Amino acid sequence: MLHRHNPESIVCAIGVQSRDSEEVGGTEILSDCDRPPHASLQTLDQRKCLQAGREHRKGHAVVAVRQIRSTEGAQLRALRLRAIRDCPSAYAESLPEAVAQPQAHWDARAAGEESVLFVAEDASEWVGMVGAYIDEAEGRRGTRLIAMWVSPAHREQGVGMTLAEHVISWARGRNAEFVALWVTEGNAAALSLYTRCGFRSTGETEPLPSNPALMERRMVLNL
């Protein structure tokens, strides 16, 4: 399992693949999230989150998101290592820990039953990811947002907005009562992003496992 971590170090944006599409500033955005607000976004904050994502996507190339396939464990490993190398302070797992994981670990993550991983593709290149899993540790059925990352070349395009909404929709479809995540203190861009998407700080903080000198805070969105 890709454990608890800071979901995003830099605000970024992407489109999401589905049956529907729209043109935004010459850019085609493929998305199953671009539906009327009542279809998947039920709060004002979440509607603002999606709208902001659309605004950030103007003028950028097509990037599609799809769920990872069970046969793509090797590609998942490569993407995860790339993410940790790029943003080590964004994850609870260190690079040596990730490298030491056997291939069976990545294969199991790709084929998860009570979890999901979405990858962002620009043509055939994987340029981003986000994950989530069902978490009932608190006596409530919740979802943990994990493993958010977008490549530097695809940042500042609205990616975080769209990916956050995608996880929210996945959680709601599994009758989750909330979505939770952890963010490294001082990460103003990520804190702003998730606040706009309706997440609120719980006041809980913990040292970041991969670097205890840093603190991270927990944020929750009640569905």
Instruction: With respect to residue 199, please indicate whether it lies within any of the assigned structural domains.
Output: yes
Instruction: With respect to residue 6, please indicate whether it lies within any of the assigned structural domains.
Output: no
Instruction: With respect to residue 104, please indicate whether it lies within any of the assigned structural domains.
Output: yes
pLDDT at 121: 86
pLDDT at 44: 60
Scanning the structure block, which residue is given the tokens 């995540």? 181
pLDDT at 50: 57
Across 10-14, 35-39, 93-97, 170-174, least confident range: 10-14
Across 72-76, 118-122, 199-203, least confident range: 118-122
pLDDT at 112: 84
pLDDT at 189: 75
Total number of domains in the chain: 1
Q: What is d(CA 16, CA 18) in angstroms, rounded to the nearest whole number?
A: 7
pLDDT: which is higher, 94 or 39:
94
Instruction: With respect to residue 51, please indicate whether it lies within any of the assigned structural domains.
Output: yes
Instruction: Tell whether the model's pLDDT for residue 67 goes beyond 80.
Output: yes
Instruction: With respect to residue 13, please indicate whether it lies within any of the assigned structural domains.
Output: no
- The 10s digit of each residue's pLDDT in 158-193 is 777 778 888 898 999 999 999 999 999 988 878 888
Q: What is d(CA 180, CA 195) in angstroms, rounded to the nearest whole number?
A: 12
Instruction: With respect to residue 212, please indicate whether it lies within any of the assigned structural domains.
Output: yes
pLDDT: which is higher, 33 or 163:
163
Question: Which band of pLDDT confidence, cut at 50, 70 and 90, is reported for residue 60?
Answer: low
Across 76-90, 126-140, 156-170, least confident range: 156-170
pLDDT: which is higher, 28 or 7:
7
Report the pLDDT averaged over residues 116-138.
88
Phi and psi for 100 in degrees, rounded to 5? Answer: -75, -15
Across 19-23, 191-195, 213-217, least confident range: 19-23
Instruction: With respect to residue 71, please indicate whether it lies within any of the assigned structural domains.
Output: yes
Domain hosting residue 64, numbered range: 21-222
pLDDT at 207: 94
192: domain CATH number is: 3.40.630.30
Q: Is 106:116 a contact under the CB 8 Å cutoff?
A: no
Q: What is d(CA 76, CA 69) in angstroms, rounded to the nearest whole number?
A: 10
Report the pLDDT averaged over residues 9-20.
31
Residues in CB range of 125: below 8 A, 6 or more apart = none
Instruction: With respect to residue 10, please indicate whether it lies within any of the assigned structural domains.
Output: no
